[in-house]
Structure 1
Amino acid sequence: MGCCSCKLYTDDKGKIVNLKQAIMNPYYESDEVQEGLEFENQQLNANSKIIIQDKETSFIKSNSLSKEQGYSKDLEQQQVQTKHKEGDTVEFIKKTISGTMKLTPEMLVRKQCITEKFLAHYEIVKKLGQGGFGEVYLVKHLTTEHLRAAKVVLRKTVNCEEKLLEETEILRTLDHPNIVKVLEIFADFKYYYIVTEYCQGGELLERIKTITNYNENLAAKYMRQVFSAIQYCHQKNIVHRDLKPENILFDSRDPDANLKVIDFGASEKMIDSSFLTKKIGTPYYKVDVWSCGVILYILLIGRPPFKGGSDIETLRLARQGKLNTNSERWLRTNEQAKDLIMKMIVVDPKSRISMQEAFNHPWIQNIQQNEIEDMNLIKNLSQFSAQNKLRAAILQFISVQLVNKEESQKLFQTFKTLDQNGDGVLTKDELMKGMLSADIDHLKAEIMADGLIQELDVNESGKVDFTEFISAALVQQQKITVNNIKLAFRMFDLDGNGVISKSELESIFGGIEIDNQAWEDILQKCDFNQDGVLEEEEFLKLLENIQL
C-alpha cells in the first residue's frame, strides 16, 4: 500500500503547500481555520481574568530569567499560574487531594524533581525515528526495565516552546485505550524529554502488509478504534489536525493488538468551545473526519483517494474532493463502506458527517464485537473498594506506570466491549448491559451497576474512565504484585531515604496538594511507628487487600 510522497508545491493562489498534507487534511492552513483561531485569541484576550485549573507548569514564562532558572522556578511553585497582559489580575489555584478532590489523568504523569536527570532513570536503546518537534528514542526504564518511547527535543531548536508544552498538556489529560499515554516529563536547560508508552507493533500500514487474510472486516475493526479515539478527543474539545497512517500504531506484535493514535504536536485545545458554533460551526473538528476518511480509503483500496496525471493535478483533485472511484478494487468494495467514505471525504465541512456519526455508521457497527471473556471480572468488580482517593491515586499510578501491558491486554478488550458507544468511558447503562450479559438478573444488575459507579468513579465524573476501570480490575484479578508495589515505593521515595513523605507524594502527582485530613487518614491506617511518613512495610500495608 502506498501513500503520497512529501512534496511542496505552489498552488493557484501562490501559496506553498505540502501535497501529502493537503490530501490528508485540506483545511490544515485554510482561511476558515485561521479565522477561527484568530477569533479564539480575541475571545481569550478580551477576558481580563481567566482561571485555568488544568495547567500545572508553564516551564518558561519570564524573559528575565535564564531557561534553566525559569524552569526551576516554575517547578518549585507547585501551583498553576496563568499570566495575562500587564495590569491584569494573576490568580493561583492549587489542586488538592481531599474527600472532594477529583482525580484527573494528568496526576498520573510523573514530573521529575529539579535535581533529577533523565539518564539517571533511563537507558537509551536506539533511535526510532523523527517525530513532531524532535527525535524519538526507544529507552529502558532502569527501575522497572520496561521499554518506553522518549521524544527528545533540543530546546534551542523549538520556535515556540509554548506549542511543544501544549502537546504534553493535551496528552496528559487524555485517558483512552486507543490514545498513546504519556508517562513522564523531564526537562533540563538543554532538552525536553517526553516519555510515553512504547508501541512496538509498528505502523498501521506496515502491519497490514504482513497480514495474509486481511479483509474489510479487519479494516472496520481498526477504524472503529481510531474513530473512538478521535470521538473522545472531540468531546474534550481537542482537534488532532495531523491524522495520517504513520500516526496510528499497534501497541504490540500480538495479532489482536490494540491501536494507538500518537503525535498530538499539531493538535489544538479549545478553551472556550462556544466560538466554534458561533463563528465557524463544527467544521474545525471535521478536519479530523476528512483525514479518517482518507485513511479508511487507503485501508480498503490500497492507495490514496486522489490520483491525477501529475502531482499538481492530484492536489487540485484533493481540493475538489474528487475521489478515484473507477478502480476495480473500489467497484468490489462493500457498498456501506463506500457510503461511509463518501460521507467523510466531503469538501464542504458543514456537509461532512461528525466523528460520532462515523462511529455509529452501520459499516462500523455491524462488525462482530469480541465477547467478554471473563464474566467473573464483571461480577467481582462490584467488590472493589478504593477506600480513599489517595489510595485510589496510588493504585492508578501503579496500573499506568508499572504493570506490564500483557497483564492488562484482556482488560483493554473488556473495556472496549463494554464501551458500546465508543466514547471512551463507561456509563451505568453500559455497565448494566455487561452485567446482564453475565446472566445477572435485571434488579441485581442495576444495584451492582450503581455500586460500581460509586466505587470506581473516583474522579466523580458520573462515569467510569478507562484507567479507573483498569486499575480496579487489576486489583480484583490480583495482578498488582508485591514487586509492583515495591517498585512504586522506590519511585515515590524521591530522595532515597527509605520513607515516603507527604511532599514526595505531592511531587509524584504533578505538584498537587494533599490536604492534612487525607494524609492523616492514610497514616492512621498504616503508620505503625507514628513518625508521620511511610516506610516500605507500611506502604505495603496501605495496599493490603492486594494479594501479596
Structure 2
Amino acid sequence: MGSKCCRDDNIQIKDEILTAQNPDVTAPPIPENKKSLSQQGSKQSQVEDLQAQTENKQKEYDMAIDEQELKQEKAVDSVIQEQTSKVPEIVQTQNMTIEQSNQYFVDIVKNEVQSQNQTDNCVKSQGRVFKFGVETFVKEKEGLIGTHYNFGKVLGQGAFGKVWKATNKTTGLVRAIKQIKKSSIIKEEESRLFSEMNILKNLDHPHIVKLFELFQDENNYYLVTEQFIELYRYLSGGELFDRIKKMSSFSESIAADYIRQILLATAHCHEQQIVHRDLKPENIIFISEDPKSQLKVIDFGTSRKFDNQKAMSKRLGTPYYIAPEVLGHSYTEKCDIWSCGVILYILLCGYPPFVGKTENQILERVKTGKFTFDPEDWDPISKEAKAFITKLLRVDASKRLSAKQALEDPWLVKYAPSTQVNRKVLDNIRQFQAQTVLKQALMSYMITQMSTQKEIQELQKEFQRLDINNDGFLSKDEFLKGYLQIQNDLKLAQEEVEKILEMIDINRSGLIDFSEFCMAAMNQEKLLSVQRVEQAFKIFDQNGDGFISKKELEAVMGDLGDDIWNQILTDCDNNGDGQISYEEFVKMLKNKKL
C-alpha cells in the first residue's frame, strides 16, 4: 500500500522482509566505496532468492483489530479486583458498615467504568449512542467514483494500479486517488488493504496523511487521500541525498524540523497502540512543493495494533531501515524509533548507516548495530546530533528512546518552534458555538473533508504549541496552560477551559483531537463562507431536489436512527415537513433563530 502501488515493487511477502524489485529506487545513493551489490547488478537474482525463501512460508499478515470492548472488560475486571481487595481496609479506616462499604465500592467501580467509557468517541442523544469522530465521514461511498471526481494526470504507476491527481466536482478540492486493481492483489493483500483503511481512518494528526473516502467498482478499489509529493522523489533528481549535503540551506535545523514531524506522527500512533513498521523516506510525503510544506507519514499497510504485554514477531520492514530485533522475530513499537534514527542519519550525511555488497550483508550489519560517523562527512555535524542518533539506534530496544523521549531530546528542543500561542486562535476557540448535533456534524465535515492544507497549516502550528506532551491530543491541563498565557486569573481561565471542552469535544473523549481543535480555532466566517456552505449542502443533497432527507444525511454520516434524526428536525426543521431546506440549513449554521 501507500507508495508501493506507485512503484514496480510487486511485493507480496508476509512473514519475511519487504524488499523492492528496484533497490535503486528504494535505497538512498551510497558513495562509490559504500555501494551495495544491488546497485551494481544482480538485482533480479537477489529478489528472486528472497522471494524463493518466502514461498514456502505461511502467508500471514497482521490485521489491526478493534480491541476496545476487550480492553474495557479487562479494565472493569481490574477495577473490581483492585477495589475488592481494599474493602476490608476501607471498612476499618473509615468506620463504615458493610453496607456502606459495599455502596462505596459500587460507586468507585461505576465512576471508573464511566471514565473508561469516555473514550468511546460518541455523542449521546435521547439515550442512543451515536458514533461521532474523525472516522464518521470516512466510509465506502455509493455510486461510481467518476460521478464525484474528475481524473487528471497520473502521479504514479505500479504493479497494483495507479495514483491519480483528481478534482472533486462539487468542492473543486484536489485529491490523490489510489486506484488498486482487484485482479492484481491476492486475498491476503486485500485483507491487509482493509486493515490499513481501518487504521488510517481513525488517525487524526497533522503529520499523518488523511483518508477522505473509499470507492469500489467491479475491477478496482479507490482510496481518496490528500494530494501529496513523495519526500523521497522531492529530494531526488539524480543526486538524491548527495544533493542535500551540498545545499547550504539544508542545515541541522531543517533536518531537526523534518525528523521532529516524523516523530510527532510516530508518538501519536504509539499513543494509540499502533506501530507503523515500515518508516522510510518513501513513506514520508510533502503535501505541496512549497519549501515550508509540512511532512506527513503514509503507507500503513504493515501497521497493526500492538499489545504492550506481548512482543510482535512478523518480520516486516525494508532492509536499510529495519530494526535488529525485528530480524530476531521479537520486537515492540520501538522498531519505528530505529527507523527514525536511520532516516535522520541519511538526512545529515546522504547515505545509510548500515551498508553492504548484498542484502544479507546489510542485514548482518543491522543485527550488530555497529555504525560510524565518518569524519569526512560528520565533522561539520554537531556532537548533539550524533548523540541523538546514537540514542535512536541502540540495539537494546529497552534502552532506546521512546517517541516521546526523543521529542524531548536536547538536540530537538534546541530547534523546536516557539511555544508562544497565538491569541487570535484562542479567541476564535472561545467564541466557537455549535449547540446542535447537526451543526457539530456539519462543521466537523467541513474541517475534515472540505478545508485545504493551506487553511489549517497555521492552526496546525498552534495545536502543536499547546500539545505539550506531544501525544497528538490536547488535554484540559494543556488547554489551561495555553489560556493562562492570555488570562492571568486562574479561576476565570479554568471556567473558560471547562466551557470550551464541553463545546468542542464532540466525540466526548475527554481530550481535544486535531480536527476538533481546527473546527473551533478557524475563523468561523471563513469556515462558514457562502461558497463552502453551498458546497456542503450540495454534497448532502445528493438527488439535487433542494432538500436534505434522512437517507441522504445517512449516506454521508452513517446510520442515525430515528431519535437522532428527530432531534435534528427539532433543531432545524422550521416548517415541519420532515426534511431540511437550504434556507433552514443556512440559518442553523449561522446561528439565526428559525
Shorter-chain TM-score tier: 0.7 to 0.9
Cα–Cα, structure 1 residues 252 and 370, in superposed 2: closer, same or farther, change >3 Å?
farther
Query: Unaligned stretches of 5+ in structure 1?
Result: 9-14, 30-34, 53-92
Q: Is the 8 A contact 1:167 1:265 kept in 2?
A: yes
Q: Which one of 235, 246, 253 corresponds to residue 217 of structure 1?
A: 253
CA distance in 2, matches of 1:202, 1:278: 29
Q: Is the 8 A contact 1:371 1:417 kept in 2?
A: yes
Q: Which one of 355, 360, 366 corresponds to residue 408 of structure 2?
A: 360
Deviations 1:217-239 (A, max 9, x none): 11111111111101111111211
Cα–Cα, structure 1 residues 496 and 372, in superposed 2: closer, same or farther, change >3 Å?
farther
Aligned ranges 1:262-277 → 2 under 5 Å: 262-270=298-306, 274-276=309-311
Shift, 1:97, TM fit: 6.4
CA distance in 1, matches of 2:226, 2:124: 26
Q: Which one of 560, 565, 582 corresponds to residue 519 of structure 1?
A: 565
CA distance in 1, matches of 2:275, 2:509: 22
Counterpart of 1:149 in 2: which secondary structure? strand
CA distance in 1, matches of 2:582, 2:551: 16
Shift, 1:290, TM fit: 1.1
- Counterpart position of 1:140: 167
Aligned ranges 1:240-279 → 2 under 5 Å: 240-270=276-306, 274-276=309-311
Q: Does 1:178 align with 2:214?
A: no
Deviations 1:80-106 (A, max 9, x none): xxxxxxxxxxxxx9x886365452211
Cα–Cα, structure 1 residues 361 and 283, in superposed 2: closer, same or farther, change >3 Å?
farther
- Counterpart position of 1:90: none
Amino acid at match of 2:293: A
Deviations 1:28-58 (A, max 9, x none): 99xxxxx9x99999x99xx9x9899xxxxxx
Q: Is the 8 A contact 1:375 1:438 kept in 2?
A: yes
Q: How many residues align?
A: 477
Counterpart of 1:319 in 2: which secondary structure? helix
- Counterpart position of 1:340: 388
Q: Is the 8 A contact 1:343 1:352 kept in 2?
A: yes
Q: Does 1:423 align with 2:452?
A: no
Amino acid at match of 1:301: C
CA RMSD, 1 decimal: 3.7
Please say which of residues 244-253 and 274-283 is displaced more in the overlay: 274-283
- Counterpart position of 1:455: 503
Aligned ranges 1:321-470 → 2 under 5 Å: 321-370=369-418, 372=420, 374-470=422-518
Q: Is the 8 A contact 2:540 2:556 kept in 1?
A: yes
Cα–Cα, structure 1 residues 282 and 387, in superposed 2: closer, same or farther, change >3 Å?
farther
Q: Is the 8 A contact 1:282 1:350 kept in 2?
A: no
Q: Is the 8 A contact 2:165 2:177 kept in 1?
A: yes
CA distance in 2, matches of 1:104, 1:198: 22
Cα–Cα, structure 1 residues 528 and 369, in superposed 2: closer, same or farther, change >3 Å?
same
Amino acid at match of 2:461: Q
Q: Which structure has the greater CA radius of gyration?
A: 2
Q: Does 1:530 align with 2:576?
A: yes
- Counterpart position of 1:67: none
Cα–Cα, structure 1 residues 286 and 16, in superposed 2: closer, same or farther, change >3 Å?
closer
Q: Is the 8 A contact 1:474 1:480 kept in 2?
A: no
Q: Does 1:126 align with 2:153?
A: yes
- Counterpart position of 1:82: none
CA distance in 1, matches of 2:199, 2:345: 28
CA distance in 2, matches of 1:344, 1:200: 27
Shift, 1:336, TM fit: 2.1
Cα–Cα, structure 1 residues 39 and 130, in superposed 2: closer, same or farther, change >3 Å?
closer
Deviations 1:150-177 (A, max 9, x none): 1101112111221111111111000000
Counterpart of 1:275 in 2: which secondary structure? coil
CA distance in 1, matches of 2:159, 2:502: 40
Q: Is the 8 A contact 1:249 1:261 kept in 2?
A: yes
Deviations 1:327-363 (A, max 9, x none): 4232332222212211222333333222222222222
Aligned ranges 1:2-401 → 2 under 5 Å: 18=19, 98=125, 101-113=130-142, 116-130=143-157, 133-159=160-186, 160=188, 161-200=190-229, 203=232, 205-206=235-236, 212-270=248-306, 274-276=309-311, 283-308=331-356, 312-370=360-418, 372=420, 374-401=422-449
CA distance in 1, matches of 2:200, 2:313: 27
Shift, 1:439, TM fit: 5.0
Deviations 1:185-239 (A, max 9, x none): 0011211000001125854644985764111111111111111101111111211
Q: Is the 8 A contact 2:161 2:180 kept in 1?
A: yes
TM-score, normalised to structure 1, is 0.78
- Counterpart position of 2:589: 543
Q: Is the 8 A contact 1:384 1:476 kept in 2?
A: yes
Cα–Cα, structure 1 residues 535 and 39, in superposed 2: closer, same or farther, change >3 Å?
closer
Shift, 1:456, TM fit: 1.2
CA distance in 1, matches of 2:9, 2:194: 28
Amino acid at match of 1:103: F
Shift, 1:521, TM fit: 2.9
Q: Is the 8 A contact 1:97 1:515 kept in 2?
A: no
Please say which of residues 348-357 and 536-545 is displaced more in the overlay: 348-357
TM-score, normalised to structure 2, is 0.72
CA distance in 1, matches of 2:468, 2:140: 34
Q: Is the 8 A contact 2:230 2:283 kept in 1?
A: no
Shift, 1:365, TM fit: 2.2
Shift, 1:146, TM fit: 1.2
Q: Is the 8 A contact 1:139 1:149 kept in 2?
A: yes
Q: Is the 8 A contact 1:6 1:18 kept in 2?
A: no
CA distance in 2, matches of 1:131, 1:387: 48
Shift, 1:18, TM fit: 3.6
Amino acid at match of 2:439: R
Amino acid at match of 1:402: M
CA distance in 1, matches of 2:583, 2:270: 44
Cα–Cα, structure 1 residues 308 and 38, in superposed 2: closer, same or farther, change >3 Å?
closer
Name the structure where helix makes up a greater proportion of residues.
2
CA distance in 2, matches of 1:489, 1:321: 57
